[in-house]
Chain A
Amino acid sequence: GAVVSQHPSWVICKSGTSVKIECRSLDFQATTMFWYRQFPKQSLMLMATSNEGSKATYEQGVEKDKFLINHASLTLSTLTVTSAHPEDSSFYICSARKQGINEKLFFGSGTQLSVL
């Protein structure tokens, strides 16, 4: 199997604080990880593509300094929402592409962020 663990599942924080979300591939090496944002009853919006050892590639309209992505190893990528505001409240999901399998994605279980 291919398991992607995302932590935390949910987080509540005060406006102005930073929140870090981790995405780990537990039993495989992930050449690429993707971060998505999803609003209620809507589709996934790709925020950025994270490649191990290099800078993330952000989608148009996504602030790099707001959403910091680090992909330090082949099994871990982190998304840090800096100086969070209520409008950042959303469901964030990561996915990973398995090395050698360049098509389907394996998803984490998502993180519900609520900024007060």
Chain B
Amino acid sequence: SQQGEEDPQALSIQEGENATMNCSYKTSINNLQWYRQNSGRGLVHLILIRSNEREKHSGRLRVTLDTSKKSSSLLITASRAADTASYFCATAMKSSGDKLTFGTGTRLAVRP
């Protein structure tokens, strides 16, 4: 079953703009991760945030986590055409051991 719901489903922005994607989940988590998928390819891990963390940065990526609202956001600053991809959040739930459950994904298109 889908643990994470992401919005928007699709996002189109101009190069240089910031892109924000949101993920909501339903049950308690150990950590939340963000992955990127280029069309027809596997996923690449971007960033992991633990349940006791509120914000994390990695290069142009900024992730926030609000466990009280059961939500997370991924911000990509100064977007580039190469950022065009699908982005998925994935949650490691306390109840499911080491399995990750993936969200519905956001398809990001960055126009040059």
A residues in contact (CB < 8 Å) with B: 4, 6, 32, 34, 36, 41-44, 46, 49, 91, 93, 95, 97, 102-110, 112
Cα A108 to Cα B101 in complex, Å, equals 17
The answer, yes or no, to whether B25 is at the interface (CB within 8 Å) is no
**Beta-carbon contacts of B39-60 to A below 8 Å, as 1s and 0s?**
0111111001000000000000
Please state if B98 and A95 are interface contacts (CB–CB under 8 Å).
Answer: no
Cα A41 to Cα B40 in complex, Å, equals 10
The answer, yes or no, to whether B100 is at the interface (CB within 8 Å) is yes
Cα A106 to Cα B46 in complex, Å, equals 11
Cα A45 to Cα B48 in complex, Å, equals 20
Please state if A43 and B42 are interface contacts (CB–CB under 8 Å).
Answer: no
Which partner residue on chain A sits nearest B50 by CB separation? A103
Interface size class of B (residues with CB under 8 A): 20 to 34
Cα A3 to Cα B54 in complex, Å, equals 30
Given A43-B102, A43-B105, A44-B88, A110-B41 contact (CB < 8 Å) = yes
Given A43-B2, A43-B88, A43-B103, A107-B98 contact (CB < 8 Å) = no
Nearest CB on B from A92, distance (A):
11
Please state if B92 and A103 are interface contacts (CB–CB under 8 Å).
Answer: yes
- 12 additional contacts, CB 8 Å, given A4-B42, A107-B43? A42-B104, A42-B105, A43-B2, A44-B43, A46-B100, A103-B92, A104-B45, A105-B43, A105-B45, A110-B40, A110-B41, A112-B40
Hey, which chain A residues are within 8 Å of B99, CB to CB? 34, 46, 49
Nearest CB on A from B49, distance (A):
11
Hey, which chain B residues are within 8 Å of A104, CB to CB? 33, 45, 48
Cα A53 to Cα B14 in complex, Å, equals 50
The answer, yes or no, to whether B31 is at the interface (CB within 8 Å) is yes
Cα A35 to Cα B103 in complex, Å, equals 16
Hey, which chain B residues are within 8 Å of A108, CB to CB? 42
Hey, which chain A residues are within 8 Å of B92, CB to CB? 103
